[in-house]
Amino acid sequence: MKTEIDLGAIERNLHRVESATRKPLILMVKADAYGHGAAQVVRATRAEYYGVATETEGISIRDLGKDVLVTAPSFTALPLCRRYAMIPLIGDLALARRAIELRIERCRIKVNSGMNRLGFTGEKACYRAALLLARAGVLVEGADTHYKDDSDENIAEQNAAFRRAVAAIYSGLSDGGSRGGFTTSVTGTGALQAEDFDYLRVGLAAYGYHTGYATSGLPLEPAMTVTSEIVKSKRIRAGESLGYSSAGFRADRTLYAYTVLGGYADGVSRSEIGRKVIAAGRRLRIAAVSMDTFEMISDSVDLPIGQRVIILSKGVDAAYVAKMRGTIPYEVLVGYNTPRSERVYVAKG
Protein backbone atom coordinates (compact mmCIF):
# COMPACT_ATOMS: atom_id res chain seq x y z
CA MET A 1 0.00 0.00 0.00
CA LYS A 2 1.00 3.59 -0.53
CA THR A 3 -0.16 6.61 1.50
CA GLU A 4 0.29 10.04 -0.06
CA ILE A 5 -0.01 13.13 2.15
CA ASP A 6 -0.58 16.49 0.49
CA LEU A 7 1.03 19.00 2.84
CA GLY A 8 -0.13 21.82 0.57
CA ALA A 9 -3.75 20.82 1.23
CA ILE A 10 -3.17 20.98 4.99
CA GLU A 11 -1.64 24.46 4.68
CA ARG A 12 -4.60 25.67 2.61
CA ASN A 13 -7.13 24.18 5.02
CA LEU A 14 -5.50 25.98 7.94
CA HIS A 15 -5.44 29.25 6.02
CA ARG A 16 -9.15 28.93 5.22
CA VAL A 17 -10.09 28.21 8.82
CA GLU A 18 -7.91 31.02 10.16
CA SER A 19 -9.25 33.52 7.61
CA ALA A 20 -12.89 32.55 8.24
CA THR A 21 -12.68 32.65 12.05
CA ARG A 22 -10.01 35.35 12.46
CA LYS A 23 -8.47 33.32 15.26
CA PRO A 24 -4.86 32.21 15.75
CA LEU A 25 -4.70 28.43 15.70
CA ILE A 26 -3.61 25.61 17.95
CA LEU A 27 -3.03 22.76 15.50
CA MET A 28 -3.75 19.29 16.84
CA VAL A 29 -1.12 16.78 15.71
CA LYS A 30 -1.99 14.00 18.15
CA ALA A 31 -1.99 10.39 16.96
CA ASP A 32 0.80 11.26 14.51
CA ALA A 33 -1.27 14.15 13.11
CA TYR A 34 -4.37 11.98 12.69
CA GLY A 35 -2.25 9.50 10.76
CA HIS A 36 -0.70 12.14 8.45
CA GLY A 37 2.77 12.27 10.06
CA ALA A 38 3.23 14.80 12.86
CA ALA A 39 6.83 15.81 12.18
CA GLN A 40 6.18 16.49 8.49
CA VAL A 41 2.95 18.38 9.22
CA VAL A 42 4.63 20.55 11.85
CA ARG A 43 7.51 21.42 9.52
CA ALA A 44 5.05 22.44 6.78
CA THR A 45 2.68 24.57 8.88
CA ARG A 46 2.50 27.56 11.19
CA ALA A 47 0.54 27.61 14.45
CA GLU A 48 0.69 29.27 17.86
CA TYR A 49 0.88 25.88 19.58
CA TYR A 50 0.86 22.26 18.49
CA GLY A 51 -1.43 19.97 20.45
CA VAL A 52 -0.83 16.33 21.33
CA ALA A 53 -2.64 13.95 23.63
CA THR A 54 0.28 12.47 25.53
CA GLU A 55 3.64 13.62 26.76
CA THR A 56 5.51 10.95 24.79
CA GLU A 57 4.15 12.01 21.41
CA GLY A 58 5.00 15.64 22.17
CA ILE A 59 8.75 15.06 22.51
CA SER A 60 9.49 14.96 18.77
CA ILE A 61 7.50 18.18 18.28
CA ARG A 62 9.48 19.94 21.00
CA ASP A 63 12.65 18.74 19.26
CA LEU A 64 11.49 20.85 16.31
CA GLY A 65 11.43 23.93 18.56
CA LYS A 66 7.64 24.28 18.78
CA ASP A 67 5.43 25.04 21.78
CA VAL A 68 3.55 21.85 22.64
CA LEU A 69 0.24 21.60 24.48
CA VAL A 70 -0.37 18.18 26.08
CA THR A 71 -4.15 17.77 26.27
CA ALA A 72 -4.37 14.50 28.22
CA PRO A 73 -1.34 14.46 30.54
CA SER A 74 -0.96 11.53 32.91
CA PHE A 75 0.25 11.33 36.49
CA THR A 76 3.00 8.89 35.44
CA ALA A 77 4.31 10.72 32.37
CA LEU A 78 3.96 14.29 33.63
CA PRO A 79 7.71 14.56 34.43
CA LEU A 80 8.30 14.64 30.67
CA CYS A 81 6.53 18.02 30.56
CA ARG A 82 9.14 19.35 32.96
CA ARG A 83 12.04 17.74 31.10
CA TYR A 84 10.99 18.91 27.63
CA ALA A 85 9.27 22.19 28.61
CA MET A 86 5.86 21.11 27.32
CA ILE A 87 2.64 22.71 28.53
CA PRO A 88 0.24 20.29 30.27
CA LEU A 89 -3.48 20.91 30.23
CA ILE A 90 -4.33 20.39 33.91
CA GLY A 91 -7.85 19.23 34.70
CA ASP A 92 -7.57 17.51 38.07
CA LEU A 93 -6.33 18.62 41.51
CA ALA A 94 -4.13 15.54 41.89
CA LEU A 95 -2.48 16.42 38.59
CA ALA A 96 -2.10 20.06 39.69
CA ARG A 97 -0.36 18.94 42.88
CA ARG A 98 1.86 16.63 40.84
CA ALA A 99 2.81 19.53 38.55
CA ILE A 100 3.73 21.64 41.59
CA GLU A 101 5.77 18.77 43.04
CA LEU A 102 7.66 18.45 39.73
CA ARG A 103 8.21 22.22 39.56
CA ILE A 104 6.56 22.49 36.19
CA GLU A 105 6.79 26.13 35.14
CA ARG A 106 3.86 26.53 32.71
CA CYS A 107 0.43 24.97 32.30
CA ARG A 108 -3.09 25.63 31.12
CA ILE A 109 -6.32 24.70 32.89
CA LYS A 110 -8.83 22.33 31.28
CA VAL A 111 -12.48 23.24 31.91
CA ASN A 112 -15.25 20.69 31.66
CA SER A 113 -18.05 22.81 30.23
CA GLY A 114 -20.31 19.90 29.32
CA MET A 115 -18.42 17.11 27.54
CA ASN A 116 -17.74 15.35 30.87
CA ARG A 117 -14.47 13.83 29.78
CA LEU A 118 -11.53 15.79 31.23
CA GLY A 119 -11.29 19.04 33.14
CA PHE A 120 -12.48 20.87 36.25
CA THR A 121 -16.26 21.11 36.62
CA GLY A 122 -17.78 24.28 38.04
CA GLU A 123 -16.45 27.63 39.14
CA LYS A 124 -15.43 26.52 42.62
CA ALA A 125 -13.16 23.74 41.34
CA CYS A 126 -11.64 26.06 38.73
CA TYR A 127 -10.97 28.75 41.34
CA ARG A 128 -9.29 26.26 43.70
CA ALA A 129 -7.04 24.92 40.95
CA ALA A 130 -6.00 28.37 39.79
CA LEU A 131 -5.32 29.53 43.34
CA LEU A 132 -3.27 26.42 44.14
CA LEU A 133 -1.14 26.71 41.00
CA ALA A 134 -0.63 30.46 41.32
CA ARG A 135 0.46 30.28 44.94
CA ALA A 136 2.99 27.60 43.97
CA GLY A 137 4.44 29.84 41.28
CA VAL A 138 3.21 27.85 38.28
CA LEU A 139 2.41 30.15 35.36
CA VAL A 140 -1.15 29.41 34.23
CA GLU A 141 -1.12 30.61 30.63
CA GLY A 142 -4.78 30.03 29.88
CA ALA A 143 -7.88 27.88 29.94
CA ASP A 144 -9.36 25.53 27.37
CA THR A 145 -12.60 23.63 26.81
CA HIS A 146 -14.05 21.16 24.32
CA TYR A 147 -17.51 21.14 22.74
CA LYS A 148 -19.52 17.92 22.69
CA ASP A 149 -21.54 18.85 19.58
CA ASP A 150 -22.23 21.80 17.26
CA SER A 151 -25.87 22.60 18.05
CA ASP A 152 -26.54 26.27 18.75
CA GLU A 153 -28.18 25.44 22.06
CA ASN A 154 -25.28 23.31 23.28
CA ILE A 155 -22.56 25.73 22.22
CA ALA A 156 -24.35 28.63 23.90
CA GLU A 157 -24.72 26.56 27.07
CA GLN A 158 -21.08 25.44 27.07
CA ASN A 159 -19.82 28.94 26.27
CA ALA A 160 -21.73 30.31 29.24
CA ALA A 161 -20.25 27.63 31.52
CA PHE A 162 -16.77 28.31 30.13
CA ARG A 163 -17.08 32.07 30.68
CA ARG A 164 -18.07 31.50 34.30
CA ALA A 165 -15.15 29.12 34.75
CA VAL A 166 -12.72 31.57 33.17
CA ALA A 167 -13.92 34.32 35.53
CA ALA A 168 -13.33 31.99 38.48
CA ILE A 169 -9.85 31.12 37.20
CA TYR A 170 -9.04 34.83 36.86
CA SER A 171 -10.09 35.34 40.48
CA GLY A 172 -8.03 32.40 41.68
CA LEU A 173 -4.95 33.59 39.82
CA SER A 174 -5.38 37.11 41.13
CA ASP A 175 -5.84 35.93 44.70
CA GLY A 176 -2.79 33.71 44.28
CA GLY A 177 -0.62 36.60 43.15
CA SER A 178 -0.25 35.64 39.49
CA ARG A 179 0.35 38.49 37.03
CA GLY A 180 1.05 36.56 33.83
CA GLY A 181 -0.81 36.75 30.53
CA PHE A 182 -3.89 34.58 30.07
CA THR A 183 -5.62 33.27 26.94
CA THR A 184 -8.58 31.01 26.20
CA SER A 185 -9.18 28.39 23.53
CA VAL A 186 -12.10 26.36 22.20
CA THR A 187 -12.44 23.67 19.56
CA GLY A 188 -13.36 24.47 15.97
CA THR A 189 -16.89 23.10 16.36
CA GLY A 190 -18.02 26.34 17.98
CA ALA A 191 -15.80 28.78 16.13
CA LEU A 192 -18.61 30.98 14.87
CA GLN A 193 -19.85 31.65 18.41
CA ALA A 194 -16.45 32.08 20.05
CA GLU A 195 -15.77 35.76 19.37
CA ASP A 196 -14.62 36.48 22.91
CA PHE A 197 -12.20 33.54 23.11
CA ASP A 198 -8.62 33.83 21.91
CA TYR A 199 -7.47 30.67 20.16
CA LEU A 200 -9.09 28.00 18.03
CA ARG A 201 -7.97 24.38 18.37
CA VAL A 202 -8.14 22.74 14.96
CA GLY A 203 -8.13 18.99 14.43
CA LEU A 204 -9.89 17.16 11.61
CA ALA A 205 -10.55 20.36 9.66
CA ALA A 206 -6.81 20.77 9.08
CA TYR A 207 -6.76 17.40 7.35
CA GLY A 208 -9.78 18.10 5.18
CA TYR A 209 -12.87 17.02 7.12
CA HIS A 210 -15.68 19.14 8.50
CA THR A 211 -16.30 18.93 12.23
CA GLY A 212 -19.47 21.02 12.41
CA TYR A 213 -21.26 23.84 10.67
CA ALA A 214 -18.50 26.29 11.62
CA THR A 215 -16.41 24.84 8.78
CA SER A 216 -19.23 23.46 6.63
CA GLY A 217 -19.02 26.30 4.11
CA LEU A 218 -15.26 26.09 3.68
CA PRO A 219 -13.76 24.19 0.71
CA LEU A 220 -11.60 21.88 2.77
CA GLU A 221 -9.33 19.43 0.94
CA PRO A 222 -8.71 15.88 2.19
CA ALA A 223 -4.94 15.58 2.48
CA MET A 224 -4.58 11.79 2.52
CA THR A 225 -4.76 9.44 -0.46
CA VAL A 226 -4.31 5.69 -0.03
CA THR A 227 -3.70 3.33 -2.94
CA SER A 228 -2.72 -0.28 -3.43
CA GLU A 229 -2.50 -2.76 -6.28
CA ILE A 230 -4.06 -5.93 -7.62
CA VAL A 231 -1.97 -9.01 -6.88
CA LYS A 232 -4.34 -11.62 -8.32
CA SER A 233 -6.94 -11.45 -11.11
CA LYS A 234 -9.50 -14.21 -11.64
CA ARG A 235 -13.00 -15.17 -12.79
CA ILE A 236 -15.43 -16.82 -10.39
CA ARG A 237 -18.63 -18.63 -11.28
CA ALA A 238 -22.03 -18.62 -9.61
CA GLY A 239 -21.81 -20.47 -6.31
CA GLU A 240 -18.09 -19.85 -5.79
CA SER A 241 -16.94 -17.90 -2.76
CA LEU A 242 -14.27 -15.33 -1.87
CA GLY A 243 -12.55 -14.95 1.50
CA TYR A 244 -13.22 -16.66 4.79
CA SER A 245 -16.44 -18.65 4.88
CA SER A 246 -17.60 -16.91 8.07
CA ALA A 247 -17.67 -13.46 6.43
CA GLY A 248 -16.98 -14.19 2.80
CA PHE A 249 -18.79 -13.59 -0.43
CA ARG A 250 -20.64 -16.12 -2.60
CA ALA A 251 -21.24 -15.19 -6.24
CA ASP A 252 -24.70 -15.51 -7.75
CA ARG A 253 -23.30 -15.05 -11.28
CA THR A 254 -19.98 -15.09 -13.13
CA LEU A 255 -17.80 -12.17 -12.03
CA TYR A 256 -14.35 -10.70 -12.35
CA ALA A 257 -12.63 -10.86 -8.96
CA TYR A 258 -9.39 -9.23 -7.81
CA THR A 259 -7.24 -9.73 -4.75
CA VAL A 260 -5.83 -6.37 -3.60
CA LEU A 261 -3.08 -5.82 -1.04
CA GLY A 262 -4.47 -4.24 2.12
CA GLY A 263 -6.50 -5.78 4.90
CA TYR A 264 -7.39 -5.10 8.49
CA ALA A 265 -3.69 -4.96 9.36
CA ASP A 266 -3.53 -1.97 6.99
CA GLY A 267 -6.63 0.01 7.95
CA VAL A 268 -9.18 -1.77 5.73
CA SER A 269 -11.93 -3.04 8.03
CA ARG A 270 -14.25 -6.00 7.49
CA SER A 271 -17.07 -3.53 8.13
CA GLU A 272 -16.20 -1.98 4.74
CA ILE A 273 -17.56 -4.96 2.83
CA GLY A 274 -19.93 -3.50 0.24
CA ARG A 275 -18.22 -0.13 -0.06
CA LYS A 276 -16.62 1.15 -3.27
CA VAL A 277 -13.00 1.65 -4.27
CA ILE A 278 -11.72 3.04 -7.58
CA ALA A 279 -9.68 1.23 -10.23
CA ALA A 280 -9.07 2.40 -13.81
CA GLY A 281 -11.58 5.20 -13.24
CA ARG A 282 -14.36 2.78 -12.28
CA ARG A 283 -15.99 2.26 -8.88
CA LEU A 284 -15.79 -1.39 -7.84
CA ARG A 285 -17.20 -3.11 -4.76
CA ILE A 286 -15.28 -4.72 -1.89
CA ALA A 287 -16.66 -8.23 -1.44
CA ALA A 288 -14.44 -9.64 1.32
CA VAL A 289 -11.63 -8.50 3.62
CA SER A 290 -8.88 -10.50 5.34
CA MET A 291 -5.83 -9.52 7.37
CA ASP A 292 -3.57 -8.68 4.43
CA THR A 293 -5.81 -8.38 1.37
CA PHE A 294 -9.32 -7.62 0.23
CA GLU A 295 -11.42 -8.96 -2.65
CA MET A 296 -12.86 -6.57 -5.23
CA ILE A 297 -15.49 -7.61 -7.78
CA SER A 298 -16.93 -6.40 -11.08
CA ASP A 299 -19.40 -7.63 -13.65
CA SER A 300 -17.51 -6.30 -16.65
CA VAL A 301 -14.21 -4.59 -15.80
CA ASP A 302 -11.20 -6.76 -16.68
CA LEU A 303 -8.07 -5.51 -14.89
CA PRO A 304 -4.47 -6.79 -14.85
CA ILE A 305 -2.19 -7.65 -11.96
CA GLY A 306 -0.37 -4.48 -10.87
CA GLN A 307 -3.34 -2.18 -11.55
CA ARG A 308 -3.47 0.58 -8.91
CA VAL A 309 -6.58 0.71 -6.73
CA ILE A 310 -7.66 3.88 -4.90
CA ILE A 311 -8.80 3.03 -1.39
CA LEU A 312 -9.04 6.59 -0.03
CA SER A 313 -9.18 9.87 -1.95
CA LYS A 314 -11.47 12.82 -2.56
CA GLY A 315 -13.75 10.47 -4.49
CA VAL A 316 -13.96 7.87 -1.71
CA ASP A 317 -13.02 9.91 1.33
CA ALA A 318 -12.85 9.15 5.04
CA ALA A 319 -16.35 10.53 5.64
CA TYR A 320 -17.74 8.01 3.14
CA VAL A 321 -15.73 5.14 4.65
CA ALA A 322 -16.72 6.19 8.17
CA LYS A 323 -20.40 6.11 7.23
CA MET A 324 -19.98 2.57 5.91
CA ARG A 325 -18.25 1.54 9.14
CA GLY A 326 -20.60 3.37 11.49
CA THR A 327 -17.81 5.52 12.92
CA ILE A 328 -16.09 8.89 12.36
CA PRO A 329 -13.36 10.01 9.90
CA TYR A 330 -10.77 10.26 12.70
CA GLU A 331 -10.86 6.49 13.27
CA VAL A 332 -10.59 5.84 9.54
CA LEU A 333 -7.59 8.14 9.01
CA VAL A 334 -5.49 6.88 11.90
CA GLY A 335 -6.09 3.31 10.74
CA TYR A 336 -4.02 3.85 7.60
CA ASN A 337 -0.97 4.87 9.63
CA THR A 338 0.65 1.44 9.47
CA PRO A 339 4.29 0.39 9.06
CA ARG A 340 3.52 -1.67 5.94
CA SER A 341 2.35 1.33 3.96
CA GLU A 342 4.84 3.35 1.93
CA ARG A 343 4.48 7.02 2.86
CA VAL A 344 5.04 9.85 0.38
CA TYR A 345 4.78 13.60 1.10
CA VAL A 346 3.91 16.11 -1.62
CA ALA A 347 2.89 19.78 -1.72
CA LYS A 348 0.33 20.12 -4.51
CA GLY A 349 -1.47 23.22 -5.66
Q: Domain ranges in the chain?
A: 48-206, 224-346
CATH assignment of 224-346, among 3.40.190.10, 1.10.8.870, 1.10.940.10, 2.40.37.10:
2.40.37.10
Single pTM value for the model: 0.92
pLDDT tens per residue, range 260-292: 999 989 999 999 999 999 999 999 999 999 889
Mean pLDDT of the region 145-154: 86
Question: In the CATH scheme, what is the code of domain 48-206?
Answer: 3.20.20.10
Instruction: Give me the chain's average pLDDT, please.
Output: 92
The conformation of residue 193, written as its DSSP 8-state character, comes to: G
Cα distance between the two ends of the chain = 24
| In contact, 135 and 96? CB cutoff 8 Å | no
pLDDT digits (tens, 9 = 90+) for 309-328: 999 999 999 999 999 999 99
C-alpha–C-alpha distance, residues 304 and 321, integer Å: 25
**Strands 241-242 and 276-279, how do they pair?**
unpaired
